[in-house]
Structure 1
Amino acid sequence: MPLFNECRKPKVVYLGLSLELYRAGGGPAPAEWEGYFREWSSVLAERAEIVASGCCYLESEVRAVMEKGRLAGAEAAVVSALSYTASLTSVPALSEYEWPVIVWNTQQMREIAADYTPADLLRNHTVQGVQDVANLLFRRRMKFIVVSGWFREPAVLERLDAAMTAARALRPVRTLSLGGRFFGMGDFEFHPSDILAWHASFDDLPMEEYRTACQEVPADELNAQTAADFADFEIEPGLSRELHRESLRPYLALKKLLARHRSDAFTMNFSSSDFRGKFLPLHAVNRLMADGLGYAGEGDSLRAVWMARLIRMAGSANFTEIYTVDFVRNRFFMTHMQECNPLWARRDRKIRLKNQPFWTAGFGPYTGMYFTLEPGPVTLTGVTPDADGKLRYIIFTGEIEDVPPLPDYDRAHWFCRVNSSAAALLDRYSEAGGPHHLIAVRGDLRNELKLLARFDGAEYLDITEERKC
């Protein structure tokens, strides 16, 4: 398995905005601006797939480019002023689409020298137009971010990258739930109005539909997947092919059901009596996370949606919990009943498939996965509505430790080491209202998550560093 899914470039429309008055005047400036736009486009194309673009002087030209972008699957609109531009030329058309808008406020000249001339001003007067456009975006409650700076400045481009990455998370998410919600887990509760910014929808998967799909998985599919797995994974001697075949039924069935329901995320409650001890999809969940599906356990549909959004940003994500703490080494022990994304497994050893007994009565064994994770930086995220229904994104970073699997532990697990007191970080996380389900993404994605919070109108809270009293 690869370490993580490749993250394709974001698909964007790129608009260069000016004013028909300049073009109608017949001067040389519009041709120069269009040359600048081509140069800026080449810089943008290194970090985004530009599916439609153009220099626009009229509202009709903006609409034509936007519609071409819609047909090509654009995820965001990037706009740059080429000169002064009147907002009513562009914002009405932009507002008809649900994409976020990234205003790349740049110009050709990097600095103003002593020999600056009126011609230089004419070629580089973009700021007033940006302010006109941003004012109307604000007043129309549109989702937008402004990135200002010279078009080749690395720090500016890094912020532009972060904004486009965050914008990828804004597409609607559809979640499928099986078995309801675990009784008594209050941190799963939310009101649909809390997450209107997410454009999320929630559907229940009838248990009978699920069981029927499991029973109807063709034998040839089961046999082919079993043969592939016994070749690709390390197999514990106690795991029979028959048990593995039965563990694969929920995976192959759910793949089809999730495609049929067009779902981006999934959650299931293992404690539901409707499972009747059969077809518990714990093995399936790991495989589905590796396939790119958002997930959270025990019927936690809120964090399942959140994980689906982070997958769009980062290429892959991982569901996890802090189960216990090593206070001496300032690290958390991260695990769950079984769920862990195998894409994140160490690359220097195979994942072990094993006969995994279930810890509570009424369920038979299933194929478990035993592995730990490829080391590297990681960002942990918890999301919750506050008492007034406003979303709060609680973020901290750490390091996936470079350690082998614990020899006496029986399922996927990993250590997250933090750079401050683990005890103090736990205080900050819980006092901020952090839920017990977390979603992890590889690397340090705090810039992207901060901008996502801006898009979502959510509160962003980075608790990585200790507070000063």
Structure 2
Amino acid sequence: MSERLPRIGLLGVMQPLYDDMLPGITERQHGYAREIAAALSGVAEVSVAPPARGREDAEAAVRGFENDDLDGVLVVMLTYGPSLRVTRLFSRMRLPVCLANVQPDPAVTAEWDMADMTYNQGIHGAQDTANAMVRAGLPFEVVTEDFRARAFAERVGRWARAARAAAALGRLKVGVFGYPMNGMGDARFDESELIRGLGPEVVYIAQGELARAMAEPSAAEVKELLAGERERFEVDERLSAEELDDHARYQLGIERVLERHGCAAYSAHFDALGEDGRFARLPMAAASSLMARGYGFAGEGDVPAASIVYAGHRLIGDGHFTEMYAMDFPGDSILMSHMGEGNWKVARDDEPVRLIKRPLAIGGLDDPPTLLFRIAPGPATLASLVTLGGGRFRLVVAEGEVLDGPRLPALEMPYGQFRPDSGVRDCMDGWLRAGGTHHIVMNLGRRAEDWKVFCAAAGIEYRPV
């Protein structure tokens, strides 16, 4: 899945009050808006609308942004603009919004005259406009900065990535093969609430379609996939030709089915595949490689978790599906792993990723080829999407560090030990009080601020622990 820069629209707000006093002010301030766009060229593609000098201009500009399928709207006060001209617009805004509290000149100088005061008076328009957003119940980000400063591009870039991820989540389709795991409550959700509140649509896919899709790839396609994996991974010599062929067909078949249904994320429950009768083993390694290709994934039919793994791809990159397996109190850390699925792009680079023959009793099927690796040591962030009911969602987020710990030779699935910044006791107390789920997305790096801005863009409650 190719990545692209976020695409945002710049809505510059002003009014015709100053035209007689300062002829050419509209054209001058439009040039200022284009300067702002140029300052953001490295972090976003910016479409600059004509200056919005009234309600009709503003509404037409935002309709254009929506029709062009942009990711968000950057609101800039080109002069003071009365907020009642955009109040109705904000009450119906469908795109994430950031208010850039900026001005043309960074400093007030003794040379300023009334014209300079007018060109730089955006701050009180920003106050009026922000008040209208708050009263409309519109979530929005605010960036106060010199627009020429690097910090401005960094902060708006973070919001733009969050807007892109929120927009992608709003368009997401999640494929579910079979049915979700019986009795697993923290993954249950109301489909209409999910699509209405966040956007993901659930597509239930019969296992028979997957079985047929696995038979479609030619021998040459299978050979090409396996040759690429032999270059990338250390392949266990105990894996038979039949096991490798089945593994490759799983990966190719799942991706074909997802493409047919327009799904960028999926989940499969081991019992649904195990009880079907047409599958020899579970698609562990396939899930790992599809995550590495940018698909969202979660086990056991967990649609919210698959959705947030996908959001992790789009917001930060290389989302890794995992869960908390056990606590290590002496090491103040948590063992992170799952049955065998994990994004191998988060693997440490001083050890090979291994494609192993691995016994697994879960599902009642034959041994599934599994990608085994340890997570790269260093800063990392966990995030869990919680369904609260009533159309409300919460993201529980913990920053910390993956330890450069000892190997666990008997653990034949991706793993690592995560030490929360807040300590394992306080982190887990906060996680459980917040209702954090057991299926989690991990991203490398300290990315809590990215998730915080994403939550504002997507209308999700943000809860750090």
- Tell me if both proteins adopt one fold, taking TM over 0.5 as the criterion: yes
TM-aligned CA deviation for residue 414 of structure 1? 1.3
* Aligned: 1:164 with 2:166: no
Distance 1:227 1:437, change over 3 A: same
Distance, in Å, in 2 between the alignment partners of 1:169 and 1:232 is 29
TM-aligned CA deviation for residue 246 of structure 1? 0.8
Which residue does the alignment assign to 1:275?
276
Q: Deviations over 1:276-300 (max 9, x none)?
A: 2535222211111011111111111
Relative to structure 2, which stretch is displaced further, 20-29 or 9-18?
20-29
Distance, in Å, in 2 between the alignment partners of 1:435 and 1:386 is 11
- Is the contact between residue 103 and residue 120 of structure 2 (CA under 8 Å) also seen in structure 1? yes
Distance 1:419 1:137, change over 3 A: closer
Which amino acid in 1 is paired with 2:437?
A: P
SS at match of 1:255: helix
SS at match of 2:40: helix
Q: Deviations over 1:144-171 (max 9, x none)?
A: 3232233245555443233222212222
* Aligned: 1:127 with 2:123: yes
Which residue does the alignment assign to 1:188?
187
Distance 1:181 1:170, change over 3 A: same
Distance 1:387 1:51, change over 3 A: closer
Q: What are the equivalent positions in structure 2 for 1:323-402 lying under 5 Å apart?
A: 323-360=325-362, 362-386=364-388, 390-402=392-404
Which of 290, 302, 316 does residue 288 from structure 1 map onto? 290
RMSD: 2.7
Which amino acid in 1 is paired with 2:25?
A: A
Distance, in Å, in 1 between the alignment partners of 2:55 and 2:145 is 26
Give me the TM-score of the superposition, normalised by structure 2: 0.89
- Is the contact between residue 392 and residue 460 of structure 2 (CA under 8 Å) also seen in structure 1? yes
* Aligned: 1:17 with 2:13: yes
Relative to structure 2, which stretch is displaced further, 425-434 or 76-85?
425-434
Aligned length in residues: 459
* Aligned: 1:82 with 2:78: yes
TM-aligned CA deviation for residue 6 of structure 1? 8.2
TM-aligned CA deviation for residue 11 of structure 1? 0.9
Which residue does the alignment assign to 1:438?
440
Q: Deviations over 1:414-466 (max 9, x none)?
A: 12123343233222211221111111122222222222222333322111xxx
Distance, in Å, in 2 between the alignment partners of 1:361 and 1:30 is 67
- Is the contact between residue 194 and residue 385 of structure 1 (CA under 8 Å) also seen in structure 2? no
- Is the contact between residue 7 and residue 314 of structure 1 (CA under 8 Å) also seen in structure 2? no
- Is the contact between residue 289 and residue 295 of structure 1 (CA under 8 Å) also seen in structure 2? yes
Distance, in Å, in 2 between the alignment partners of 1:390 and 1:139 is 19
- Is the contact between residue 340 and residue 412 of structure 2 (CA under 8 Å) also seen in structure 1? no
Which residue does the alignment assign to 2:237?
237
Which residue does the alignment assign to 1:466?
none
TM-aligned CA deviation for residue 32 of structure 1? 3.7
Which amino acid in 2 is paired with 1:410?
A: E
Distance 1:57 1:388, change over 3 A: closer
Relative to structure 2, which stretch is displaced further, 200-209 or 115-124?
115-124
Q: What are the equivalent positions in structure 2 for 1:232-271 lying under 5 Å apart?
A: 232-271=232-271
Relative to structure 2, which stretch is displaced further, 169-178 or 30-39?
30-39
TM-aligned CA deviation for residue 109 of structure 1? 3.1
Relative to structure 2, which stretch is displaced further, 227-236 or 156-165?
156-165
Give me the TM-score of the superposition, normalised by structure 1: 0.89
SS at match of 2:438: coil
Q: Deviations over 1:397-419 (max 9, x none)?
A: 11122357433432221121233
TM-aligned CA deviation for residue 25 of structure 1? 5.4
Relative to structure 2, which stretch is displaced further, 322-331 or 102-111?
102-111
SS at match of 2:231: helix
Distance, in Å, in 2 between the alignment partners of 1:423 and 1:7 is 38
- Is the contact between residue 40 and residue 157 of structure 2 (CA under 8 Å) also seen in structure 1? no
* Aligned: 1:222 with 2:218: no
Distance, in Å, in 2 between the alignment partners of 1:38 and 1:454 is 26
- Is the contact between residue 191 and residue 202 of structure 2 (CA under 8 Å) also seen in structure 1? no
TM-aligned CA deviation for residue 26 of structure 1? 5.5
TM-aligned CA deviation for residue 97 of structure 1? 6.3
TM-aligned CA deviation for residue 391 of structure 1? 1.8
TM-aligned CA deviation for residue 84 of structure 1? 1.5
SS at match of 2:179: coil
TM-aligned CA deviation for residue 135 of structure 1? 3.9
